[in-house]
Amino acid sequence: MTRLTGPALRVTIFIGESDTWRHKPLYTEIVRRAHTAGLAGASVMRGIEGFGASSVIHTSRLLSLSEDLPVAIIIVDAEERVRAFLPELDELVGEGLVILDEVEVVRYVGRGEDSR
């Protein structure tokens, strides 16, 4: 039974959509490694607009810049599991932003579990 409640740590990784790892999208490799590490879950969100250290605004409103929209990968798990995963991000994320937030998980039950 997969359950996670109470204090946890959220890691959010901000990268560009065009960032790659060995000719594949970087976000795909981060999710694969999070899965392999047995983390509770990972979600990838594609942004519609943003800028980072380069100060170049990337937006879905301008066709010429829409190929490198911002991407956020969000992972939430127990603090010790997330912190054990951070060296993977050190290896993978050359340019981007990685942040940690303390969060409280109210409900997390895996699919197929009794939801009552």
Q: What is the pLDDT of residue 77?
A: 95
Higher pLDDT, 109 or 32: 32
Helix and strand numbers (H, E) in the chain are 2, 8
Q: What is the pLDDT of residue 13?
A: 98
CATH architecture of 6-105: 2-Layer Sandwich (3.30)
Q: What is the pLDDT of residue 63?
A: 59
Report pLDDT digits (tens) over 40-99.
999 999 988 877 777 776 776 655 545 678 999 999 999 999 999 999 999 999 989 999
> What is the number of other CB atoms lying within 10 angstroms of the CB of residue 36?
9
User: Which residue is listed with tokens 């981060």?
Assistant: 30
Q: What is the DSSP letter of 103?
A: E
Domain ranges of the chain: 6-105
